Amino acid sequence: MTESIFPKKFLWGGAVAAHQLEGGYNEDGKGISIADLMTLGSHEYPRELTATIEEGKYYPNHKAIDFYHHYQEDIKLMAEMGFKAFRTSIAWTRIFPNGDETQPNEEGLAFYDKVFDECLKYNIEPVVTLSHFEMPYHLVTKYGGWSNRKLIDFFTRLAHVCFEKYHTKVKYWMTFNEINNQANYESDISVYENSGIKFNEDDDKQKIMYQAAHYEMVASAEAVQIGHAIDPSLRIGCMLAFCPIYPASPKPEDILFAQRAMDSRLYFGDVQVNGEYPSWLKQYFKNNNYNLDITDNDLQILKQGTVDYIGFSYYMSFTTKYTDHLDYREYQDLVENPFIKANDWGWPIDPVGLRYALNWMSTRWHKPLFIVENGLGAYDKLTEDHEVHDQYRINYLHDHILEIKKAITEDGIDVIGYLPWGCIDLVSASTGEMKKRYGFIYVDEDDHGNGSMKRYKKDSFYWYQNVIKTNGQEL
């Protein structure tokens, strides 16, 4: 497949999140976010979620890679690669430090004006997420996070301010990052990052998750309507973490169980794209006596605020098998897939799964698809000559882009663009590490914030530069 079949306006670029690269956690009026209270972890032990900033503990998001002061240098490097789009997020606490103020912080707004202007100087399209695992901690302590309906108003206020301020600079928006991660409700960090909820011992975690997710999806639908009212040309999408879930065997019970697992993890897309809850889930609520706070007005808002496209991340596939229950529980129901390898952090590497994901979503939801995260976290070595020979990353991205090509040319899938994750090295969301590197650009900083902070181009920088230059013709 040597002939380029990517659309002429295909959005090649990269993706990051504010809390993982900006730093400047207490500068220019910024408030404390939930990410600012997460300590350094690793693959072996989880990040700690502290109630205050504790002396003697390291909080990697406080400094990150200091994009707050390096954004001009970093965006220039992205422009050198030929980026057509750059995905980042608005740090909610830069705009509303506590989250419940009525007036925004002008210094925070000014920072993103500068970032977006810098992108546009190089004809790079900003792609912006409104909430990417960085909600104000004040909303956790005072309101209980997204377990409280009041957060709908706080979020839509943020959305209105951002759409009004930046609609001439930012065309592509997404509301909540990987909103469906919390389907794994037994993972405290997943629900905390998504919804700012800390469970008590006797809580019905699943019920609380469903309620919080409902409020978020109502807020998302309201935001879509607000954005379209301000500027009908805006394209506002949802953002899902897509992990195909394969049956472990052709056994009918395994196939049915894998189907229900996919439904459970991706019903969020059904609501945000179709504007209504799927029938199986409504029956599930009824069977389990989940009398959630879902009003008739909420259902109307969901209907009227469906998204324009589906943004999604793709890193890996899962495999599962039926045991003794039909209620999929991600924390215990996954099994190893003997046909695929894994990276150093145990994440399965499955390029074909990306093509599967594109087909699954296109068939189910009939909307344009935007790959806004994909990449390989790996140990990179900086040589004495300040080079990084990351052929393993080139191989990973090559294989995934090849599957996108097939999805477009053989399956007829409408794909907007491809934005690999962590296009510049940044703090890992799952572990807080720097050594879990994704970028085309190496940042000289270790897990504890030590280093020169200098930026160096990896081998993958030049490879991806040529991919973009040839519009995917040369991989």
373 is a catalytic site residue: yes
The greatest distance separating any two alpha carbons of the chain, rounded to the nearest whole angstrom, comes to: 64
Cα 419 to Cα 38, 100, 268: the distances in Å are 26, 32, 22
Choosing from 373, 403, 433, 445, the catalytic residue is 373
Query: Active-site positions?
Result: 373
